Structure 1
Amino acid sequence: MPLSFKLVVCITSTALFDCSASHEIWLNEGLEAYQAYQCANIKVPLEPGVGFPLVRSLLDLNKATGKQLIDVVLVSRNDGESGERVRNSITHHNLCIMRMSFTGGTDVTRYLSAWKCDLFLSTEENQVRKVLSTTGSDAFKGIAAGLVCPPINETASTKFNLPETSDNSKTTLDNNVPVSPQSSPWPEGQLRIVFDGDGVLFSDEAEIVYQRGGLDAFRENEQNKKDIPLPKGPMHMFAMKLQEIQEELGKDNRAMLRTFLVTARDHVVTKRLFRTLTEWKLKIDEKHFVGGLDKTPFLCAIDPAIFFDDSIEHIERARPYVPTAYVIYGAKNNAAAAPQILPNVAQPTEEVD
């Protein structure tokens, strides 16, 4: 019988591992130097990258249940020979990744539908844009995608000193608020995933109203449509898949996976949101309506394996502290309107022959 998984995650090697050193060589010295470096270091395991904690935790759910609930597929534009160091690193880190694509330069998104992908994680902006484009191919329908963002190189302090943003989270917490708890209250081995609301779980319909008319127009729109569910966003199906996995975990292992919603909405505009979740029959374990406050202290308290948000400002604030994935979706993130992705930070790409 063919294998059937509840969730399929496709991840690039640069999202799974820290490939920054080889990437710098490729940028500065060219392909031949890159290949020589990889050959010389073929037995040196790559260090975990931003997507590593999520992948490891997802695969641990298979171990806990004894079921093949989740499949993680490595997709790479390298050829098979150049990818040997990646394969050795997978073995070194004891990751049960059995399926792979090494495309030798072909865009890996071509094969996402063949893998029946539910979530695609990459460090290449164009790949994520292609998958999430509302005018793109039907082949990507139902596939969630996120641009895995490298952490800030500087050590994150426990206090904020952040610039004001242009996003609707204009109010920030006091700079003296600690963001790193002394000890984690969470169960050992628990997988925690955080979603933003508008533009992530939900479409950006309401967010467009806010961008065009401000907070008053946004609140009026949400009040008028309080009984009309929000349209589905790019992470809707992925969240539903996670709920299916929670059900498969059963009572004994249910706590191994916990989901969170952290949104800039306040209580005045929650009715439509709750109506939507009820309509979808989607249960999110925790919901935090921060009403314009900075999300980062809440994220630090949650300590997630990954945080999905469609706001570059929220991503910039959070990435020194937690693994982040930028959901490049909606009107504010179209190629013409969106800001440069993570300014002054080179995005690792997968080098090819």
Structure 2
Amino acid sequence: MTANTKDKLVIAISSRALFDLDESHQVYVSQGVEAYCAYQTAHENDALQPGVAFNLVKKLLALNAPDPAHPRVEIILLSRNSADTGLRIFNSIEHYQLDITRAAFCGGGSSHRYIQAFGAHLFLSTDQDDVRQALDLGHAAATILPSQVGPRADAQLHIAFDGDAVLFSDESERIYKQQGLQAFAANEKMAAHTPMTGGPFKDFLAALHRIQAEYPAEASPLRTALITARGAPAHERVIRTLREWNIRIDEALFLGGMKKGEFLKAFGADIFFDDQKGHCDSAREHVATGHVPYGVANEACKKITES
């Protein structure tokens, strides 16, 4: 085991995103903490069923196969469970032979506090409050949404992103929300040669790019896509921004407002990240989806949550 996580892609994931803990969570909701602890202890040798992000984790860990001595990816478990109830989770990790050795069991406390300490590039959780707080601290984070989509047979890992408020800041989306489509299009045409500010997932994309750079494009075990509601003339600023960042993205779809679900299915995304809940609800019918509660599209929801 390496002593640190430097130069790796580090993903922090909650236990409820990795495994299906719905049954035991219902015990917690209906009967309380003590009953939940007793339930998990009684079932600690029963392997949990895979959760929504399980197949994503398997594909991420598979990126280490060419050189296990020098892994490219590390998965960190961040859990609200106690170490005692977390024994079932580690037993399940062993059952599925997942190479996960580092974890933080927070005993009911927020787990996002340990993202920076572990050097994680991304935090995936089913807990929206934890995700919001992580984003507020400047970390890439997404709420994994329930989905019945099965695993893709293809061994290549496919990751898809929305643009504004995910890879890029929400500065352009604010113009669209506040002034309308015409003002947005005019601004993007005028600013076509001005790179956009990075959004919460810029550094995560850059970390993926570093892995891709080790391979010829046709032999990479990882493929990325930008799938955005933008269309011409707002496409040029996106292309020039990625060029300025020197970040490779394999596919770029400018849909001009069309629904993204069928395109995500055609791309074969193992995970898709979007800031708008409506897009996410549509996407999760086709692919595993992470909602990024960031930017102008989520400000009203955030105020309601905080009030």
Q: How far apart, in 2, do the equivalents of 1:197 and 1:240 lie?
A: 14
Matched residue SS, 1:48? coil
User: Size of the alignment, in residue pairs?
Assistant: 301
**Amino acid paired to 1:276:** T
Could you say which residue in structure 2 is the equivalent of 1:150?
146
Q: How far apart, in 2, do the equivalents of 1:253 and 1:246 lie?
A: 10
Q: How far apart, in 2, do the equivalents of 1:101 and 1:13 lie?
A: 10
TM-score, structure 2 normalization: 0.92
Identity over the aligned pairs, expressed in percent? 42
Q: How far apart, in 1, do the equivalents of 2:7 and 2:39 lie?
A: 37
**Amino acid paired to 2:47:** P
Q: How far apart, in 2, do the equivalents of 1:128 and 1:335 lie?
A: 16
- The 1:309/1:16 distance shift into structure 2, 3 A limit, reads same
Task: Confirm or deny: 8 A CA contact 1:64 1:253 kept in the other structure.
Answer: no
Could you say which residue in structure 2 is the equivalent of 1:68?
71
Task: Confirm or deny: 8 A CA contact 1:38 1:85 kept in the other structure.
Answer: yes
How far did 1:77 drift? 1.7
Could you say which residue in structure 2 is the equivalent of 1:111?
114
How far did 1:107 drift? 1.9
How far did 1:41 drift? 1.6
CA RMSD between the two structures: 2.1
How far did 1:255 drift? 2.5
- The 1:46/1:5 distance shift into structure 2, 3 A limit, reads farther
Q: How far apart, in 2, do the equivalents of 1:87 and 1:189 lie?
A: 25
How far did 1:306 drift? 0.7
Residue ranges of structure 1 left out of the alignment (5+ in a row):
134-139, 157-179, 341-353
Structure 1 range deviating more: 107-116 or 216-225: 107-116
How far did 1:17 drift? 0.8
Could you say which residue in structure 1 is the equivalent of 2:43?
41
2:189 to 208, 223, 236: 223
Residue ranges of structure 2 left out of the alignment (5+ in a row):
none
Could you say which residue in structure 2 is the equivalent of 1:276?
241
Could you say which residue in structure 2 is the equivalent of 1:289?
254
The within-5 A match list for 1:191-230 is 191-230=157-196
The within-5 A match list for 1:325-336 is 325-334=290-299, 336=301
Task: Confirm or deny: 8 A CA contact 1:5 1:70 kept in the other structure.
Answer: no
Structure 1 range deviating more: 100-109 or 323-332: 100-109
Is 1:300 matched with 2:265? yes
Is 1:322 matched with 2:287? yes
How far did 1:15 drift? 0.9
Structure 1 range deviating more: 70-79 or 236-245: 70-79
Structure 1 runs, 4 residues or longer, greater than 4 Å off: 335-340
How far did 1:252 drift? 9.1
